[in-house]
Chains A and B, each alone.
Chain A
Amino acid sequence: NAGVTQTPKFQVLKTGQSMTLQCAQDMNHNSMYWYRQDPGMGLRLIYYSASEGTTDKGEVPNGYNVSRLNKREFSLRLESAAPSQTSVYFCAGTPSLSSYEQYFGPGTRLTVT
């Protein structure tokens, strides 16, 4: 039982390159989330998926897209990376509609040069 896993752990991109951050969970989570964390700004929601097959924008969705491939996997795509997207990205999941607790993955540290 690995919980929430993310790949890669670290990534360096050049401006304009694209990449997909992967997230998977084995805790039967219904809802999944993508956050970015910047110094002094807490965690900001990028996109979320309340259930398999649905996705919605969060607070800072511009420049990102997501796919809820199945119940286990929720990926975040940067189509054309910009230096402003340098951040630590966390995926999280919530087990059920009656539970609000979010379990976080280990994070991906992304640097865009």
Chain B
Amino acid sequence: GENVEQHPSTLSVQEGDSAVIKCTYSDSASNYFPWYKQELGKRPQLIIDIRSNVGEKKDQRIAVTLNKTAKHFSLHITETQPEDSAVYFCAALSWGKLQFGAGTQVVVTP
């Protein structure tokens, strides 16, 4: 089955700096890669996603890149703000099921 690895597990950034989270996947048939943000005690919420026929997608301060050959994808957050502090999960869709990474705790310090 699909295996998704996510790094780093924790990330501390100064407000205004950029944050990058990286994920790798194992199943070359995976074709959809969402990123979820989860605040403490809340449900995961989709923030951006990318399909396998696209290499990059941007939505305001967040962007996702996908390298199908290398089987890795990354989340980029620019101009970080305190409200970006949360746990971020990557996932890969394989055979109709999402396989999630273990998560990255992002802390934005003022």
* Chain A interface residues (CB < 8 Å from chain B): 31, 33, 40-45, 48, 50, 58-59, 90, 100-102, 104-107
Partner-contacting stretch, out of B39-47, B56-64, B68-76, B78-86: B39-47
Tell me the bound Cα distance from A59 to B99 in angstroms.
Answer: 9
Task: Answer whether A100 and B89 are a contact pair too, CB < 8 Å, given A43-B44, A90-B43.
Answer: no
A100/B32 contact (C-beta < 8 A), A42-B100, A50-B96, A58-B97 known: yes
Contact A102 B43 (CB under 8 A): no
Is B93 on the interface with A (CB-CB < 8 A)?
yes
Main secondary structure of the interface of A (DSSP, over half): loop
Quick one: closest B residue to A101, CB to CB? B46
Q: How far is the CA of A101 from the CA of B32 in the complex (A)?
A: 9
Q: Which residues of B contact A (CB under 8 A)?
A: 1, 6, 9, 32, 34, 42-46, 49, 89, 93, 96-103
CA–CA, A59 and B4, complex, Å: 13
A58 to B1, CA, bound (A): 11
User: Complex Cα distance A32/B99, Å?
Assistant: 15
CB distance from B73 to the nearest CB of A (A): 14
Whether A42 and B46, one on each chain, are in contact in the complex, defined by CB atoms closer than 8 angstroms, is: no
Q: List 9 A-B contacts (CB under 8 A).
A: A31-B96, A42-B102, A43-B98, A45-B98, A50-B96, A58-B97, A102-B46, A104-B45, A107-B43
CB distance from A19 to the nearest CB of B (A): 21
The 5 closest A-B pairs by CB, nearest first: A42-B100, A104-B43, A43-B100, A100-B32, A42-B102
Closest chain B residue to A3 by CB distance? B43
Closest to B89 in A: A42
With both beta carbons as reference points, the residue of chain A lying nearest to B9 in the complex is identified as: A40
Chain B residues whose C-beta falls within 8 Å of the C-beta of A50 in the assembled complex: 96
